[in-house]
A and B are shown apart, each in its own frame.
Chain A
């Protein structure tokens, strides 16, 4: 079984078109928009701010709270019921863990940094788009950061290894598929998010991580460019 050509004509190591912008939500302390193909994410950062209820406070350092949410009309199928699902809770959790390593929250005891990720439109790769937007929004909020975080999905469809699976590839029915969202800190090269569902061999996975890294360095450049643009345009 071979997967000869991607439906949208991309090469196997190519992402869908990406658009990124910073400072899109004026009321937030930091914000960003990240679009990859038909998947579209906004992220807003509020904080560091007071944390209630009090028992959640950590006197040693600030805490990070992430919330991932799909807007009710963001799925290509039926309406998504508002209020969150088990899936969105889990994605919120792994997003938090993906972002935490780049933050230095020791300066903000008893406080919280809230990250809200909203998706108006999705078509595969939404957690990765959310993480890309969130990391830009954190930088926009002026928080101390060791690095940015860049995320993309890699995977396998039949005999091919590829990056940034779209919906048709994620749900490819005729052959085994693996869908592997990965987030990386581009400067240290360390992985902060790794999930997988499907079937893949260890050798393939290691190859995929290498492929992903190359693409993520490109996403890193796009994120940096968007951050710089805000300040060049004098919006700050």
Chain B
């Protein structure tokens, strides 16, 4: 498919550099995290990593709990790969790419217990809060996974409950009560091309990857979600190396929150 591009990228990687001159495990610059950009949302953030730009907005809703967890609220993560953000995206219901992105972000937050679902309970068995996280890329210049997960966390961090009188939500009135974040799960996607490992691929690099591993971890290095992608298998040794990179780089990304 992209044979020429691939061999060019690999020869650069062998010389310890990349198309844009970056080191192999270096994020693009600048990384920018701006919170509360959308007034109509209960929480929001705009994240830029290089030219990749994403908006995440949080809406809160009240609903019935699941019967098996009557005292727990929940989260819903949605991702729309807007055709505005990439010439290859098409209109229509979320495809498999969007679904995978949403589910990977969901698992990082859910499995790390970043949100204590019990604290979302209003009335056991009757009413609980649902936190709805929507991911909307504005410009997809590569690495939507890391940018989305960072943006989701930044948005959650500033989320305030709307006022709720027991019957109806008044979205016009935000309360001072903040959504509490117990953990900060950060996703770092490590890419394998040939025998090299890189992070933060741009659009060109994404076309020629062999395998990727999205590593969500919290500050003490505990892993909370993983997702392997790409057509090629990974050895134990590959995985060990990729986890090291993922955990180390997560600490670096966390500084932006």
Chain A residues packing against B (C-beta within 8 Å): 24-28, 38, 40, 42-44, 46, 49, 67, 69, 71-79, 82-83, 114, 116-118, 120-123
Contacts and interface: CB of A to CB of B under 8 A. Distances in A.
A77 B39 CA distance: 11
A211 to B, nearest CB: 28
A86 to B, nearest CB: 16
Contact of A25 (B61, B84, B136): B84
B59 A72 contact: yes
Given A67-B91, A78-B61, A118 B136 contact: yes
A26 B40 CA distance: 26
B83 A67 contact: yes
Contact of A78 (B87, B141, B171): B171
B39 A38 contact: yes
A103 to B, nearest CB: 19
A73 B58 contact: yes
A79 B172 contact: no
A79 B134 contact: yes
Contacts of A114: 83
Given A76-B40, A121-B39, A71 B136 contact: yes
A27 B86 contact: yes
How many residues of B sit at the interface, in one of the four size bands? 35 or more
B82 A26 contact: no
B136 A120 contact: yes
A25 B57 CA distance: 19
Interface string B128-153: 00001010101111000000000000
Contact of B134 (A38, A40, A46, A82): A82
Given A72-B132, A78-B171, A83-B93, A118 B82 contact: yes
Given A120-B136, A121-B38, A73 B59 contact: yes
6 contacts: A26-B141, A27-B87, A46-B87, A67-B91, A72-B80, A120-B38
B138 A42 contact: yes
B93 A118 contact: no
Nearest to A118: B84
A50 to B, nearest CB: 11
B153 to A, nearest CB: 16
B38 A77 contact: no
B41 interface: yes
B171 A44 contact: no
A44 B85 contact: yes
Given A27-B87, A46-B87, A72-B78, A120 B93 contact: no
A78 B84 contact: no
B171 A76 contact: yes
Contact of A44 (B37, B41, B84, B136): B84
